[in-house]
Amino acid sequence: MANFTADNLIGIGIIGGVGLLGLVSNGLAMFILINGGKISNSFQQLCLSHCTANFICLMFFVFYCTPMIIMHSSFSHTSPIGKLIGGFMVSIWDVSVYSHLISSINRLVVISWPVESRNYLRQRNTSIMIGIVWFLGFLHFTPYFNVKECYIVFHASNYLWEFSPNYCGFVLGKVLDFGTGVSVFILIIIMDVFTIYRIRTAVMRLGKSLRTQELKFFAQSCLQFSLFVIKLTNFYFISGYFVGDLITYHWPAFFTTTFAWEITHCIDGLILIPFHYHDWKTRKCRPVITGHTITNKRAEPSRMFLSACNKSFAPTSATTG
């Protein structure tokens, strides 16, 4: 039965609103990646895979969690299907976690060994890396098939997630989920520090110049990783000060757990857009060259079009017919 208390309306607005914003941001990011003309590149494919995971998880926040709050349903925390959905959402989150790791590996390889990386990051190897990421993510899902003992559920009454209150829940939350996050965090820190060292070595000691695009994508990877660290810190450390007293600290507990999880997927897509928008814009504004002679009448619209694209290309020279 629907329950529209003030808290319910706020919860519905936040979870539904952030979810919809995230679907738009990640959908737009995927559109830009696919139509940017560089989707055959390894890093762009890794980003597309990451956005896909974000999009799937946000769909569940919008079309599963939000209706549960509207109906004030116990389905999400009592039914076997609800428990499986919770486990599935965690596995998709783990896909995002591993996506951060392979993005860091990609930047390390490209920046450290720019020539050799063309062989290392071929289509076949990139597909294998993406396949491993999704396989590992769904490997995390297997314990959740024991729905009686091992689960994570969403409580529509307080908009919070809870692992099963037993030993299996402890393993799922503190060992598998938190342990994976911390392990990936350490690995990424090591690789990013080494990448920065390689950048410094190339520029300061060897006098080499690195492609701006590679540095730009490294910055993107670092920003997304920082977002992951903020979520991890909130979910497993800061929230501990609030979850013990949900009557007094209900909203702080919500913002450091459910909201932190959802907003991470949302902002992931927003971060990606400005780093890849130029590729899409450049391809969109690229003049079409044909074998026909361009007349004065056709040249003028071409100039107008290029002007609208911030003159990314020089106007096509025209010859009179």
Q: What is the pLDDT of residue 205?
A: 63
What is the rounded CA–CA span in Å between residue 26 and residue 28?
5
Poorest-confidence range of 95-109, 126-140, 288-302? 288-302
Long-range pairs of 79-82 with CB within 8 A, sequence gap ≥ 24 = 80/147, 82/153, 82/154
pLDDT in tens, 222-235: 999 999 999 999 99
Q: How confident is the model at residue 302 (pLDDT cuts 50, 70, 90)?
A: very low
Tell how far CA 64 is from the center of its chain. Answer: 20
Of how many residues is the chain composed? 321
What is the rounded CA–CA span in Å between residue 241 and residue 134?
33
* pTM of the predicted model as reported, rounded to 2 decimal places: 0.85
Q: How confident is the model at residue 132 (pLDDT cuts 50, 70, 90)?
A: very high
Q: Beta-strand (E) ranges in the chain?
A: 152-155, 160-163
Contact 50, 103 (CB under 8 A): yes
Q: What is the pLDDT of residue 127?
A: 95
* Averaged pLDDT for residues 1-10: 77
- What the chain holds in terms of domains, given with CATH numbers, is 6-283 (1.20.1070.10)
Tell how far CA 145 is from the center of its chain. Answer: 26
Residue 128, token pair as written in the block:
């294998």
More confident site: 107 or 316: 107
* Averaged pLDDT for residues 12-40: 94
* Averaged pLDDT for residues 34-45: 89
What is the rounded CA–CA span in Å between residue 92 and residue 138?
7
Task: Please enumerate in sequence order all residues whose Cβ is within 8 A of that of 271, keeping only pairs 6 or more positions apart, or say none.
Answer: 220, 223, 224, 227
3-class DSSP state for residue 5? Answer: coil
DSSP string, 156-174: TTTTEEEE-SSHHHHIIII
Residue 154, φ and ψ in degrees, nearest 5: -105, 125
Q: What is the mean pLDDT of the chain?
A: 86
Tell how far CA 101 is from the center of its chain. Answer: 12
Contact 126, 105 (CB under 8 A): no
CA-based nearest residue to 134, from 98, 171, 161, 110: 98
